Amino acid sequence: MAMDFQKFKEINDTRMNYREMEDATVVSNYRNVGCGDGYRIYLKIENNQIIDASYTTTGCGFGVTALAMATQIAKDKTVEEAKALNVEDIEKVFEFPERRKNYPESAISALRQAIKDFEDGSGIPKGRRITKALALQLLNEKGNLKDEDLSSIILEKENLSGIDFSGADLHNAYLQNSNFENANFSGVNLRGAFLNSCNLKNANFTGADLRWAKLAGANIEGAIFDNAKYDIGTRVDSKQIHIFQVMEKLGKDVYYEKEEIV
């Protein structure tokens, strides 16, 4: 069976099952170590049955499709039934090209991690599930987001130019494709955050923690990175590696992706 391009387009156009879930029983983070993409699985479970499932991701169209299929087939399954799902179950409803078989594998791994987090009572604690709506409400009330706990928040495609985030916790945050021109990230914990394809022009990252952060495709013209932390997991375009000259290196080496521009 060949890949169904029409179904692929439909899933990506409608973002099937792509949404935050405020009443989720468990919210679980998963990182695809192969490409660095972040996956987040939301499961609502009642009486040991998954009654709703959704996801968010920083990944490409194949990642979106795989996660859409994984969450769709998990719905109405018992926890034990969902744990038994595998790549073949995804490919019964959507077959991936041979060179893209790793995407359903990662989606199943992310689903299993979410189930494990549910069983272990782990995942993102309810008290730290900060939604975009709440963050924007705080911003409207305070005029800034200084010192706020915004870990794992999703602020994609937002215009947040000039906002003061200094001292905030934004680790594992999904920030890609947003406008942060002239924003202040001094002293911010951005470890594991996704800043790919953001406008970071003239932003201040002095003393920020950018270990395992992803800045590929970002506009960093005029941005300040003095004494910011980086490590082998900090991903930048090859043309951006000059920023490491003023940063503090933690770990053995730096990793960057050549020509990684979204």
**Rg of the chain on CA atoms, in Å:** 19
| 51 and 178 co-located in one domain | no
Per-residue pLDDT for 58 more than 60? yes
| 156 and 260 co-located in one domain | yes
Which of 28, 38, 20 minimizes the C-alpha distance to 213? Answer: 38
What pLDDT digit, counting tens, does each position of 193-230 carry?
999 999 999 999 999 999 999 999 999 999 999 999 99
| 189 and 85 co-located in one domain | no
| 73 and 194 co-located in one domain | no
* Structure tokens belonging to residue 206: 């002095």
In which domain, by residue range, is 87 found? 5-120
pLDDT at residue 127, rounded to an integer: 75
Q: How many CB atoms lie within 10 A of CB 220?
A: 22
| 76 and 148 co-located in one domain | no
| 144 and 249 co-located in one domain | yes
Of 120, 155, 190, the position where a domain reaches its end is 120
* Structure tokens belonging to residue 51: 């009654």
226 assigned to some structural domain: yes
What pLDDT digit, counting tens, does each position of 59-71 carry?
788 999 999 999 9
Residues in the chain: 262
Contacts 24+ apart (CB under 8 A), 12-18: 12/61, 12/64, 12/65, 15/64, 16/68, 16/72, 17/53, 17/54, 17/55, 17/67, 17/68, 17/71, 17/72, 18/54, 18/55, 18/56, 18/57, 18/64, 18/67, 18/68
125 assigned to some structural domain: no
Q: Where are the beta strands (DSSP E) in the chain?
A: 26-31, 38-46, 49-57, 229-230, 248-249
Q: How many domains does the chain have?
A: 2
185 assigned to some structural domain: yes
pLDDT at residue 224, rounded to an integer: 98
Of the listed ranges 59-63, 91-95, 184-188, 240-244, the one predicted with least confidence: 59-63
Of 70, 102, 120, the position where a domain reaches its end is 120
What pLDDT digit, counting tens, does each position of 69-111 carry?
999 999 999 999 999 999 999 999 999 988 899 999 999 999 9
- Whichever domain contains 74, its CATH number is 3.90.1010.10
| 21 and 59 co-located in one domain | yes
Mean per-residue pLDDT of the chain: 91
